């Protein structure tokens, strides 16, 4: 377990709001007619995991077809010509939100390469924590990179492996990478899926008739009418061919540690992640939050959309009426990533509007999934007050976020995380709320069916709350070492 570093996670953060950003979504299908069309539908169900870009690679038994676009799935893969543009019985797809590599077309996945054994396309959800070190080593050895995405490191490692079989070369690559990942790969004869040794990032297996499906979440299976078969195990590779499925445990079997933020925010509410229904877990968070941080109020109001299940749970447990006191505008897209100053000053009003009829003259409990920098929360509190609320009590359905993420979640620097630099009372004053409460870490674990957090027994990946990172952070630790050496040199010169 690594100590928590304070270095920049080198993640691009949306300046328009201070929400945690989704990671990425992956999808794959083997043995289906119009595989690309099914992939487009699956990606549509996974759109919440990344809205910057999308791509699909298909294979028809003789040729690979690859399309990658900036923008949403519906804007690029919704026409009836998709099966003609991307023919084949096998396909993989990807929705992207960049956590490594700029949001430009050359970083959009799936990435494709012609290897000595044939074509290979790969899509990745997660973040490799030693990709910079590996990249430098590969470049020094003569590798030429076409992107700045950490995913290309995997392709380069596969290409340079001395193993003969493609599965063995892929396994060889996985033994060299660190971090969190769920991978889907398409080769001439195979669809391959892999999950990191701790199962931090999710990946599920489904079946549709005689076809097999790999997806980040079960909601993508539901979209195409596929049956859920099972979760891919932590440290497992699944190889799907015309002969069926082969399972390979490339890492020692250990208790999985899925990321808690899949349950707090990232996964779609109708998904089931590692056997836990996300919607129910979020309602449980609200119920326990009401026990731990009660409030005397007239109405419980969620910050839409992710705060809704927790607010329902809070309302049920506290016997306070639930109301949609804030209405979200779903038609504000990524156009406003870098808005003009005038638009930026409008703040959350572009995405959220106060429902005055449900707020005026009332004591309001606001429920949100989390608080990151606090800027959006402060604006929402102000907006609710302006709509006539007499009191505003803010509650976070997750614990305080005090540490950055290195596994595929876009978080700012630690000194930009309000809970890392402020006390509870200071945060309350910053938000302008009458009271403030956060779900406890043990409360979060109870919501997921555990008695409490047990530091001696690996349960979940919860580093954003605890600072305990479950893997090596080689790139970040080296950055810290380099900075220490530079400071030492400057001190000696001084």
CB 447 within 8 A of CB 260: no
CB 258 within 8 A of CB 461: yes
* Cα 143 → chain centroid: 29
CB 182 within 8 A of CB 203: yes
CA distance 405 to 146: 26
Residues whose CB falls within 8 Å of the CB of residue 157, separated by 6 or more in sequence, listed in order:
134, 138, 172, 173, 176, 177
Beta-bridge partner residues of 56:
67, 93
Picking from 402, 405, 427, the residue whose alpha carbon sits closest to that of residue 416 is 402
The sheet carrying 179-187 orders its strands as: 111-115, 118-128, 179-187, 191-195, 236-241, 244-249
CA distance 380 to 364: 12
Give Rg (Cα) of the chain: 23
**Residue-wise over 137-166: b if at least 16 C-beta within 10 A, else e?**
ebeeeebeeebebbbbbbbbbbbebeeeeb
Q: Of the residues 11, 24, 219, 293, which is catalytic?
A: 24
CB 39 within 8 A of CB 79: no
Tokens 């899949």, residue? 262
In the chain, what is the straight-line distance between the N-terminal and C-terminal CA atoms, in Å? Answer: 37
For Cα atoms 310, 25, 160, give the angle at the middle one, nearest 5 degrees.
Answer: 140
Cα dihedral 197, 198, 201, 203, rounded to 10, equals 60
Q: How many CA atoms lie within 13 A of 471 on its CB side?
A: 27
Residues whose CB falls within 8 Å of the CB of residue 479, separated by 6 or more in sequence, listed in order:
5, 7, 8
CA distance 330 to 325: 16
Q: Identify whether 11 is a catalytic site residue.
A: no
CA distance 213 to 139: 35
CB 120 within 8 A of CB 173: no
Paired sense of beta strands 90-96 and 53-59, if any: antiparallel
Tokens 């099972």, residue? 230
User: Which active-site residues does the annotation give?
Assistant: 24
């Amino acid at each position: 377990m690594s100590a928590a570093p304070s270095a920049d996670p080198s993640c691009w953060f949306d300046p328009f709001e201070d929400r945690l950003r989704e990671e990425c979504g992956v999808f794959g299908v083997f043995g289906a007619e119009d595989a690309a069309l099914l992939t487009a539908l699956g990606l549509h169900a996974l759109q919440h995991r990344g809205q910057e870009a999308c791509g699909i690679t298909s294979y028809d038994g003789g040729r690979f077809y690859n399309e990658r676009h900036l923008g949403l799935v519906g804007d690029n893969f919704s026409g009836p010509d998709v099966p003609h543009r991307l023919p084949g019985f096998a396909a993989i797809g990807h929705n992207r939100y960049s956590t490594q590599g700029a949001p430009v077309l050359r970083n959009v996945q799936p990435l494709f390469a012609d290897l000595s054994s044939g074509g290979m396309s790969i899509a990745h959800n997660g973040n490799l924590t030693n990709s910079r070190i590996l990249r430098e080593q590969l470049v020094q050895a003569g590798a030429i990179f076409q992107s700045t995405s950490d995913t290309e490191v995997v392709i380069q490692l596969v290409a340079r492996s001395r193993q003969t079989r493609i599965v063995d070369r892929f396994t060889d690559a996985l033994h060299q990478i660190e971090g969190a990942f769920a991978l889907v790969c398409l080769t001439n004869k195979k669809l391959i899926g892999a999950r990191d040794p701790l199962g931090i990032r999710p990946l599920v297996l489904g079946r549709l008739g005689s076809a097999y499906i790999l997806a980040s979440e079960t909601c993508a299976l539901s979209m195409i009418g596929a049956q859920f078969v099972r979760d891919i195990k932590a440290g497992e590779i699944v190889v799907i061919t015309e002969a069926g499925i082969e399972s390979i445990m490339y890492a020692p079997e250990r208790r999985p540690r899925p990321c808690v933020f899949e349950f707090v925010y990232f996964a779609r509410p109708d998904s089931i992640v590692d056997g836990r229904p996300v919607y129910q877990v979020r309602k449980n968070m609200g119920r326990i939050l009401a026990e731990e941080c009660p409030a005397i109020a007239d109405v419980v109001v969620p910050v839409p959309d992710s705060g809704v299940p927790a607010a329902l749970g809070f309302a049920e447990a506290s016997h306070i009426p639930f109301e949609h006191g804030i209405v979200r505008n779903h038609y504000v897209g990524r156009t406003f990533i870098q808005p003009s100053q005038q638009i930026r000053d409008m703040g959350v009003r572009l995405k959220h509007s106060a429902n005055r009829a449900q707020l005026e003259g009332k004591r309001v409990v606001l429920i949100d999934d989390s608080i990151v920098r606090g800027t959006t929360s402060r604006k929402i509190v102000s907006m609710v007050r302006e709509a006539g609320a007499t009191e505003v009590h803010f509650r976070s359905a997750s614990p305080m976020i005090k540490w950055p993420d290195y596994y595929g979640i876009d978080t700012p620097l630690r000194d930009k995380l309000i809970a890392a630099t402020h006390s509870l009372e200071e945060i309350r004053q910053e938000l302008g709320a009458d009271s403030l409460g956060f779900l406890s870490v043990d409360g979060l674990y109870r919501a997921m069916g555990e008695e409490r957090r047990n530091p001696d027994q690996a349960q979940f990946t919860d580093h954003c709350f605890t600072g305990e990172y479950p893997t090596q952070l080689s790139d970040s630790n080296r950055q810290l070492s380099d900075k220490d050496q530079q400071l030492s040199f400057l001190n000696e010169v001084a």
